Chains A and B, each alone.
Chain A
Amino acid sequence: MFFLKILIRNAFRNKLRASLTILGMTIAILAFGLLRTFINAWYAGVEASSATRLVTRNAVSIIFPLPISYQEKIRQVNGVKMVSHGTWFGGVYIDEKNFFPNFAVEPKTYLELYPEFILSPKEKEAFLEDRKGFVAGRKLVSKHGWKIGDIVTLKGLIFVGNWDFVLRGIYRGKDETTDETQFFFHWAYLNEGLKKRGHVWADQVGFYMVGVVQPELSTEVSIAIDQQFKNSLAETLTETEKAFQQGFIAMSGAIVTAIQIVSFVVIIIIMAVVANTMAMTTRERIGEYAILKTLGFRGLHIVGLIFGESLVITMMGCLLGIVLTFPAARIISTELGTYFPVFNVEEKTLFLNLVATWIVAFIAAIVPTRRAIQIRIADGLRRIG
């Protein structure tokens, strides 16, 4: 306890410098925490995916469709429990700025395959019965102020025209990692419209979602599915939902890497600032260290004093930064909700914050400490200022 008191007294001997350094540390930890959260948000789709679900898409690329007739064929594959399908609709609500993901799905199987979308039985029934109905996530609904029964018009960019939908249900996520900004409706409704115009996507779907009996079977099942459609007009590529989501992220991998690097650069910058403070502190106190040595304290004691002081300063900044991270994350998640439906500070981030703080504290103290313990008593006493 006594030791801690000395450390705190020492740290605040120069109040201005200490508070500036703590402020710098706070900013750095805040930035670090937010950047890590940002990366986590990027991977939110991967984290939320289930191991028992596979995604089958056209092998050429995601923009090519698969015939609806594949649904029954996939269902016959051993180990497949359930098959649903989805089509990326790419509709725009009023303005392109209001982006949210919207899909045409086979509603009954889709809701069964995605138990994380929780819908009250009454709403579920209403949705299944209304061919023009749609279901949207809680966040999306509150953002646009829709009410059950409202008619919402999307402007199709891929499937040209204005499409009307009726809100029949509002789902909420099972936990906070579930995306609550999705919009999905009956594929049958879309298909009807496309058939009337003789569109090439009539009786075609974007991708199949396949539920397997147990996760261990997923490799065999995906090989079996792809094998079945080999050498057909639309060859398929089946992978786990996780790999499918990761594929999207891998394509923008360069940006994620850049943010990751930057999050470490901020730590290095603050390291330079703290090291600077410690260097100045020890330079001023060389005389004191010489006196301590004369009194019989060992080099190790001095090491403890300097490292401890460095740690006191960085930890204060760190704690302050962590406390501020939460309100900052909340602001960002309301501002950028369109891009990042899930933006939560993870425990792992806080842990990384602490690790970074200790590293900064130690590295910053190394050079000054070396100077302080190497100096000879006589030199130290002789030195002024």
Chain B
Amino acid sequence: MAIPIAYNIRNLWTRRLTTALTVSGMALVVFVFAAILMLAEGLRKTLVETGAYDNVVFLRKGAATEVVSGVSRDQASILETLPEIALGPKGQKLLAKEVVVLIALPKKGSGTPSNVVLRGINENSLLLRPQARLVEGRLPRVGSSEVIVGTSIAKRFEGVEIDENLCCAMREWRVVGIFDAGSSGFSSEVWGDVDQFMQAFRRPGYSSVILRLQDSSEFQSVKSQVENDPRLTVVAKRETKYYAEQSEMMAKFLRILGMSLTIIFSLGAVIGAMVTMYSAVANRIAEIGTLRALGFKRRDILIAFLLESLLLGFLGGVAGLFFASFMQLITISTVNFQTFSELAFSFTLSFEIVYKGMIFSLIMGFVGGLLPAFRASRMVIVDALRAT
């Protein structure tokens, strides 16, 4: 027969201070573990949502990002003749020739400038990004110095409210609207008319060409056709892949940071659990002897102490995840090293993180309790009973 679990719960309750300290140590570890996973998840989600699977991005060969890429006007026109392009509601080809530059805008509060993506768009750009929709004001008129800003920019930067002017390239760019692109990277951009931007920033060519395929499965043939065309010096990428690649460096950084921190922290927490469980065993030698004398087997004692330690881990996990779930309210805005521009993303809790955190916490409890539990189960009845 197994020792009832109520025995373990009461034991933990009797030594409240020790239990609370051990649990809070573990909770902090789970919190950090979950928070870093949530950050990586938020980043992934932001950049995955930014791209659409059907869209294809064309960049200059060798360019990793739109900022350093360049597609000349004649090459863009050749791309426009591809028969595989999907058609829009007015029968036009769904293709956008865009220009991307970085400008420095002051952040709210600190006033320190940070780089922001300025994207020159045409009327098809909005059709190609269905996730972006206007929430305030109106769209910029074609051929005017009007811009719209993403919600993350509107929230974090100064001087980007409606009817305010952004200054750059000897022009005043009037903000006429705010658009929301969900949690995608477009929310951290400023959009305006492409021809105006090209002229103002003296760009002879476009940065990239984006188009939607009629049939997504034709991607491979389009890619090889375009990349083997001697007139073109571009590479084709699915938009999803393009944005996933942009997050690689950052994701790798978060992963290394997260792994090393978690390993170090969990060592500390395991030691905490071990100290607690060893003392739990040491304090109860006579009790263990009595249990054995009553007929409980060695295995039962082992299980009982392991269970107690797992319970500590469980409590730590629940507490840690509880506090970590509040992190979802926080949005982090930092520079993506690869594009060198501002990107806002929030901590995102997924079911996977919850169960990873719980398992991790239980493992910490298990490892911490294993040696003490063995010690308890291997005691000789007579010696244990004699101990005071």
Interface residues of A (CB under 8 A from B): 14, 16-17, 20-21, 23-24, 27-28, 30-31, 59-64, 90, 96, 155-158, 160, 200, 231, 233, 235, 247, 250-255, 258-259, 262, 265-266, 268-270, 272-273, 275-277, 279-280, 367, 384-385
Q: Which one of B84-92, B264-272, B292-300 is at the A interface?
A: B264-272
- Contact sample, A vs B, 5 pairs, CB 8 Å cutoff: A17-B275, A61-B102, A96-B64, A269-B265, A269-B272
Contact in complex: A247, B28 (CB < 8 Å): no
Contact of B335 among A90, A251, A280 (CB under 8 A): A251
Of all chain A residues, the one with the shortest Cβ separation from B257 is: A259
Contact in complex: A262, B170 (CB < 8 Å): no
Instruction: Give the CA-CA distance A276 to B22 in the complex, in Å.
Output: 7
Question: How far does the Cβ of B367 sit from chain A's closest Cβ, in whole Å?
Answer: 13
Question: How far does the Cβ of B110 sit from chain A's closest Cβ, in whole Å?
Answer: 8
Of all chain B residues, the one with the shortest Cβ separation from A275 is: B21
Residues 128-170 of chain B: 1 if any A CB is under 8 Å from the residue's CB, otherwise 0? 0000000000000000000000000000000000000000111
Question: How far does the Cβ of A50 sit from chain B's closest Cβ, in whole Å?
Answer: 21
Of all chain A residues, the one with the shortest Cβ separation from B233 is: A160
Binding site of A, secondary structure by majority: helix, strand, loop or mixed?
helix
Of all chain B residues, the one with the shortest Cβ separation from A253 is: B334
Instruction: Give the CA-CA distance A277 to B277 in the complex, in Å.
Output: 11
Residues of B within 8 Å of A61, CB to CB, are 101-104, 115
Residues of A within 8 Å of B202, CB to CB, are 200, 233
Instruction: Give the CA-CA distance A61 to B24 in the complex, in Å.
Output: 46
Contact in complex: B168, A60 (CB < 8 Å): yes
Instruction: Give the CA-CA distance A273 to B277 in the complex, in Å.
Output: 12
B228 within 8 A of A: no
Contact in complex: A272, B28 (CB < 8 Å): yes
Instruction: Give the CA-CA distance A236 to B64 in the complex, in Å.
Output: 28
Given contacts A155-B62, A157-B64, A273-B25, contact A60 B278 (CB under 8 A): no
Given contacts A27-B268, A200-B204, contact A17 B333 (CB under 8 A): no
Instruction: Give the CA-CA distance A44 to B334 in the complex, in Å.
Output: 19
Residues 290-332 of chain B: 1 if any A CB is under 8 Å from the residue's CB, otherwise 0? 0000000000000000000000000000000000000000001
Contact in complex: A269, B29 (CB < 8 Å): yes
Count how many chain B residues have C-beta atoms less than 8 Å from C-beta atoms of the other chain: 57
Binding site of B, secondary structure by majority: helix, strand, loop or mixed?
mixed
Contact in complex: B103, A272 (CB < 8 Å): no
Of all chain A residues, the one with the shortest Cβ separation from B371 is: A16
Question: How far does the Cβ of A18 sit from chain B's closest Cβ, in whole Å?
Answer: 10
Question: How far does the Cβ of A130 sit from chain B's closest Cβ, in whole Å?
Answer: 27
3 A-B pairs with the lowest CB-CB distances in the bound complex, closest first: A272-B25, A251-B335, A273-B272
Residues of A within 8 Å of B108, CB to CB, are none
Instruction: Give the CA-CA distance A14 to B282 in the complex, in Å.
Output: 10
Contact in complex: B64, A27 (CB < 8 Å): no
Contact of A64 among B39, B201, B268, B278 (CB under 8 A): B201
Instruction: Give the CA-CA distance A17 to B271 in the complex, in Å.
Output: 9
Question: How far does the Cβ of A261 sit from chain B's closest Cβ, in whole Å?
Answer: 9
Residues of A within 8 Å of B274, CB to CB, are 20
Residues of A within 8 Å of B39, CB to CB, are 258
Question: How far does the Cβ of B192 sit from chain A's closest Cβ, in whole Å?
Answer: 14
Instruction: Give the CA-CA distance A218 to B115 in the complex, in Å.
Output: 25
Residues of A within 8 Å of B340, CB to CB, are 63
Residues of B within 8 Å of A155, CB to CB, are 62
Contact in complex: B62, A160 (CB < 8 Å): yes
Contact in complex: A276, B62 (CB < 8 Å): no
B60 within 8 A of A: yes
Instruction: Give the CA-CA distance A268 to B115 in the complex, in Å.
Output: 36
Contact of A273 among B168, B201, B268 (CB under 8 A): B268
Contact of B112 among A24, A250, A262 (CB under 8 A): A250
Contact in complex: A63, B67 (CB < 8 Å): yes
Residues of B within 8 Å of A272, CB to CB, are 21-22, 24-25, 28, 272
Instruction: Give the CA-CA distance A60 to B64 in the complex, in Å.
Output: 22
Residues 18-33 of chain B: 1 if any A CB is under 8 Å from the residue's CB, otherwise 0? 1001101100110010
Residues of A within 8 Å of B388, CB to CB, are 384-385
Residues of A within 8 Å of B332, CB to CB, are 254, 258
B224 within 8 A of A: no
Of all chain B residues, the one with the shortest Cβ separation from A23 is: B271
With A268-B28, A269-B25, A276-B22 known, 7 other A-B pairs at CB within 8 A are: A24-B268, A64-B101, A90-B68, A96-B64, A272-B22, A273-B21, A276-B272
Given contacts A27-B267, A61-B103, A160-B61, contact A265 B68 (CB under 8 A): no
B63 within 8 A of A: yes
B196 within 8 A of A: no
Residues 200-211 of chain B: 1 if any A CB is under 8 Å from the residue's CB, otherwise 0? 011110000000
Contact in complex: B279, A280 (CB < 8 Å): yes
List residues 169-194 of chain B with CB under 8 A from any CB of chain A. 169-170
Question: How far does the Cβ of A159 sit from chain B's closest Cβ, in whole Å?
Answer: 10
Residues of A within 8 Å of B114, CB to CB, are 250-251
Contact in complex: B63, A157 (CB < 8 Å): yes
Instruction: Give the CA-CA distance A21 to B268 in the complex, in Å.
Output: 9
Instruction: Give the CA-CA distance A90 to B388 in the complex, in Å.
Output: 73
Contact in complex: A273, B334 (CB < 8 Å): no
Residues 56-91 of chain B: 1 if any A CB is under 8 Å from the residue's CB, otherwise 0? 000011111001100000000000000000000000
B377 within 8 A of A: no
Residues of B within 8 Å of A247, CB to CB, are 112-113
Question: How far does the Cβ of A266 sit from chain B's closest Cβ, in whole Å?
Answer: 6
Question: How far does the Cβ of A302 sit from chain B's closest Cβ, in whole Å?
Answer: 18
Instruction: Give the CA-CA distance A157 to B267 in the complex, in Å.
Output: 43
Instruction: Give the CA-CA distance A235 to B114 in the complex, in Å.
Output: 18
Of all chain A residues, the one with the shortest Cβ separation from B334 is: A254
Contact in complex: B68, A158 (CB < 8 Å): yes
Given contacts A60-B168, A90-B68, A160-B62, contact A273 B103 (CB under 8 A): no
Contact in complex: B278, A17 (CB < 8 Å): yes
Residues of A within 8 Å of B103, CB to CB, are 60-61
B17 within 8 A of A: yes
Question: How far does the Cβ of A101 sit from chain B's closest Cβ, in whole Å?
Answer: 13
Contact in complex: B272, A252 (CB < 8 Å): no
